[in-house]
Amino acid sequence: MSTASSPVRYLLHDGELIDYADARLHVLSTSMKYGVGVFEGFRAYWSEEEGELYAFRVQDHMRRLLDSMRVVEIEGPTDIDELTEQLLGLVRANDLRSNLHMRAQVFVDSADGKPDDTGPSTVYMAAIPMGNYFGATGLDVQISSWARLSDRAMPPRVKSIANYQNGRLALLEARRNGYGAALLLTENGHVAEGAGYNVFMVRQGRLCTPPSTESILEGITRDSVIQLAQKELGLEIDIRPIDRTELYSADEIFVCGSAAEVNHVKSVDRTPIGDGSQPGEITAQLQGLYQQAVRGQLDSFRDWVIPVYGTAR
Ligand SMILES: Cc1ncc(COP(=O)(O)O)c(C=O)c1O
């Protein structure tokens, strides 16, 4: 791979800066042979007015990374603050001053790996410029014929690379059928989540989202939305199982995730949601609040962001 096409100069490998082109994982490692690995995806937002970059909820993502490692038994780093500093150092080394998507990935890189090897692990981090993931035009969503994987088989609570086969199948099916995104149901037929996002609906005036026991990744954006809705909008949230047909009769639906941000759903299985085009009132409010929160513009949620270059405040 040539560095000429690299989006950034450096990646981080076990805490050390390396050239983008020098990232390596052996084809016979446990990660490559058996899909063993966990990761995090986070965002940072550039504020033009302040000339500052804000990294969003990095420690919470690092905590989830360590939780994932614990569940699937991968040895490796244990210090959230050290991992956080490493990631921020990488951003500074690349002198990135735009909206970013960042990743921390932990692989098991044992030679001629066995499926139950737990180490040695290797940690890679990346920070790459990224704008809107979906664009801001809203999503036409298909309910997938694939079921969401379950805690009894492949725990969705773990952000494991292997889990993404499930979402990939749903997304490929949705694209083949002319949709932009997919939502998956649990084996019991309840609404779980999408390929890379959690879901909320507004129905009969109530904001609702599935509980963390309904085969979902416990999204950090989901938690941010819940807190923003409660504290900034004074809403109560119904965290409860959701049936498929409730989506068809919802007033508003949105998906959310670090990459997806807060993105409204225009239709489900071709059934229009709201006016079938624009975000509903609560969705639009939450979209606005989220965009403020990630840039450190909400005083009550200022501790969610870290100013990367230390020029703000
Ligand atoms: C399957 C899945 N669900 C939900 C989310 C949203 O999680 P978060 O808001 O922590 O990015 C993601 C995004 O990483 C995901 O991959």
Catalytic residue IDs: 159
Question: pLDDT at residue 4 above 70?
Answer: no
Residue type, 110: S
Number of domains in the chain: 2
Give the tens place of pLDDT for each residue, 292-303: 999 999 999 999
One domain, residues 119 and 169: no
Number of H helices, E strands in the chain: 7, 16
What sections of the chain are H helices per DSSP? 30-34, 58-72, 80-93, 164-176, 220-231, 244-248, 281-293
Name the percent of the chain lying above pLDDT 90: 93
Q: Rounded to the nearest whole angstrom, what is the distance from the C-alpha of residue 257 to the centroid of ligand 1?
A: 5
One domain, residues 18 and 97: yes
Q: What is the pLDDT of residue 291?
A: 96
One domain, residues 170 and 207: yes
Q: Rounded to the nearest whole angstrom, what is the distance from the C-alpha of residue 9 to the centroid of ligand 1?
A: 27
One domain, residues 124 and 156: no
One domain, residues 122 and 178: no
* Paired tokens of 245: 């047909």
Q: Rounded to the nearest whole angstrom, what is the distance from the C-alpha of residue 4 to the centroid of ligand 1?
A: 31
Confidence of residue 133 (pLDDT cuts 50, 70, 90): confident
Q: Give me the CATH number covering residue 61.
A: 3.30.470.10
Where on the phi/psi map is residue 189: left (φ > 0), alpha (ψ -120 to 50), or beta? left
Q: What is the pLDDT of residue 3?
A: 52
161 in Cβ contact with 33 (< 8 Å) = no
Question: pLDDT at residue 313 above 80?
Answer: no
One domain, residues 65 and 147: no
CB of 217 shorter than 6 A to ligand 1: yes
Q: What is the pLDDT of residue 312?
A: 56
Instruction: Quote the CA–CA distance of 91 and 121 in Å, as a whole number.
Output: 23
CB of 279 shorter than 6 A to ligand 1: no
CB of 56 shorter than 6 A to ligand 1: no
**237-247 mean pLDDT:** 98
Among 129, 164, 189, residue at a domain's last position = 129
Average pLDDT, the chain: 95
CB of 142 shorter than 6 A to ligand 1: no
Q: Which residue's CA is the nearest one to ligand 1's atom 16?
A: 196
To 10 degrees, what angle do helices 58-72 and 220-231 make?
140
Question: pLDDT at residue 8 above 90?
Answer: yes
Q: What is the pLDDT of residue 85?
A: 97
144 in Cβ contact with 185 (< 8 Å) = yes
Q: What is the pLDDT of residue 2?
A: 45
**201-227 mean pLDDT:** 98
* Full domain range(s) for residue 58: 3-129
Q: Which residue's CA is the nearest one to ligand 1's atom 7?
A: 219
One domain, residues 150 and 285: yes
Contacts of 213 (CB under 8 A, 6+ apart): 151
**160-176 mean pLDDT:** 97
**90-99 mean pLDDT:** 97
Q: Rounded to the nearest whole angstrom, what is the distance from the C-alpha of residue 112 to the centroid of ligand 1?
A: 31
Q: Which residue's CA is the nearest one to ligand 1's atom 12?
A: 196
- Atom index in ligand 1 nearest the CA of residue 223 equals 9
Instruction: Report CA torsion sign: 155, 188, 180, 294.
Output: negative
Please report whether residue 134 resides in a domain.
Answer: no
One domain, residues 238 and 144: yes
Please report whether residue 300 resides in a domain.
Answer: no
H or E element: which one contains 11?
A: strand 10-13
Please report whether residue 119 resides in a domain.
Answer: yes
Instruction: Quote the CA–CA distance of 212 and 307 in Å, as a whole number.
Output: 30
- Atom index in ligand 1 nearest the CA of residue 258 equals 11
Instruction: Report CA torsion sign: 89, 91, 55, 211.
Output: negative
Instruction: Quote the CA–CA distance of 184 and 170 in Å, as a whole number.
Output: 7
- Atom index in ligand 1 nearest the CA of residue 216 equals 3
Q: Rounded to the nearest whole angstrom, what is the distance from the C-alpha of residue 184 to the centroid of ligand 1?
A: 13
